[in-house]
Structure 1
Amino acid sequence: MTALHTVVLRDVVETDRQRLLDWRNGPEVAAFMYSDHQISPAEHDGWFGGMVGDGRRRYWVIEVDGQPVGLANLADIDRRNRRCAWAYYLASPSVRGLGVGSYIEFWVIEYVFKTLGFDKLWCEVLLSNDSVWKLHERYGFQREALFRHHVIKDGAPADVVGLGLLAEDWPAKRDQMVQRLTDKGYALPFT
């Protein structure tokens, strides 16, 4: 089967600066972030400039068919304890429902466990964002925490789900996820 779409994760570059600010301040992305405020250019420049040389985080722009559509990242990279957190968002509504999120999930898991050699990948998701935490669970992530009233969203307390996946648990899910992505027509990385 020929891939329906080509998905690439590439390093963030200077020309992404304004795009990332626009995406992050867009309502379709901000709705699922911890903070609700409009990020100022100065605040964004501080975040963007802080990426350079920060070994505790890594960012990639997600491209579909050559077009930038979202951002994926690793955070709290802890080489000593061989673990990190991760997150992603798709800013372009045109790619939602195409399996891009599933592809990104697979790519990040493989990168963390195979390339970095880490033992654990974890994430936090707003409880209300059930499509994302259910996707993580489909990939083998287990719910490790429920952080009650963890953040304020739209002026009200919101709960957050903490999920984790261990490298030792990934092989039990990997073949199923490979099949799922192959069935959707994606050529897989790291195979």
Structure 2
Amino acid sequence: MIELKDLCLDDGDRLYHWRRQPEVDRWMSPSPPADIETHRAWLEAFLADPNRVGWIIAEGGRPCGFLMLKGVTDLQQRAEWGWYIGEAEARGRGAGRAAQALGLERAFYDYALQKVWSEVLADNDAALKAQSAAGFRREGYLRRHVFKDGRFRDVALLAILAEEWKERRGPVLRNLQASGLIGKG
């Protein structure tokens, strides 16, 4: 079963380890932190910022990924979102699909956002497919927007509106519950 657990300082070393894995880093627009001290400073600033919220994605109580919203106090009621599955054995088994649904529930019902948006490297087919399956729609395309791995890369802009999630949520949540990926309630 997948759950979202509030991010805390104790998660720092785990996040640092995940973020430095080539299979995670290759799809992240910023470079991984140079050292653990830089990462800890980032995490402390993240946790102190009322405009950001983060969760550890846990599968059966074991941490397997990270999900965050940036902009939860924005006057426009929109927030940027990002997530990844850091544990290789959790990939491809529905953890990301379940985490997205739980994250959208939090975004739209706990934080009363009207829009959640993301930037995805345009060649990250898995993320584009996963976010599309969650209901995100492509809203734009930024050519040569991010310098990564020695070259400029394109970025797709994706978003989902509160009313779009409201239309999708019932069947999505029931399907995840029936498959044992999330609990009822």
Q: TM-score, normalised by structure 2?
A: 0.91
The code of the aligned residue for 1:110 comes to E
Give the counterpart of 1:135 among 130, 154, 163. 130
8 Å CA contact 1:75–1:86 kept in 2: the answer is yes
Q: What is the DSSP-based 3-state SS (H/G/I as helix, E as strand, rest coil) of the residue aligned with 1:157? A: strand
Identity %: 31
Cα offsets for 1:37-96 (capped at 9, x unmatched): 552223212201202321111111111112111111111224421111111111111011
Give the counterpart of 1:155 among 138, 150, 172. 150
8 Å CA contact 2:47–2:53 kept in 1: the answer is no
More helix by share: 2
Take 1:37 and 1:174, find their aligned partners in 2: how far apart are those partners?
Answer: 33
2:59 equivalent to 1:64? yes
Give the counterpart of 1:123 among 77, 95, 118. 118
Take 1:19 and 1:157, find their aligned partners in 2: how far apart are those partners?
Answer: 29
TM superposition outliers: structure 1 runs of 4+ over 4 Å: none
8 Å CA contact 2:55–2:67 kept in 1: the answer is yes
Take 2:158 and 2:60, find their aligned partners in 1: how far apart are those partners?
Answer: 30
Take 1:26 and 1:139, find their aligned partners in 2: how far apart are those partners?
Answer: 25
Q: Shift of the alpha carbon at 1:172?
A: 2.6
How many aligned residue pairs are there?
185
The code of the aligned residue for 2:98 comes to Y
The code of the aligned residue for 1:122 comes to W
- How has the CA–CA distance of structure 1 residues 149 and 174 changed in structure 2, closer, same or farther, with 3 Å as cutoff? same
Unmatched tracts of structure 2, length 5 or more: none
Q: What is the DSSP-based 3-state SS (H/G/I as helix, E as strand, rest coil) of the residue aligned with 2:40? A: helix
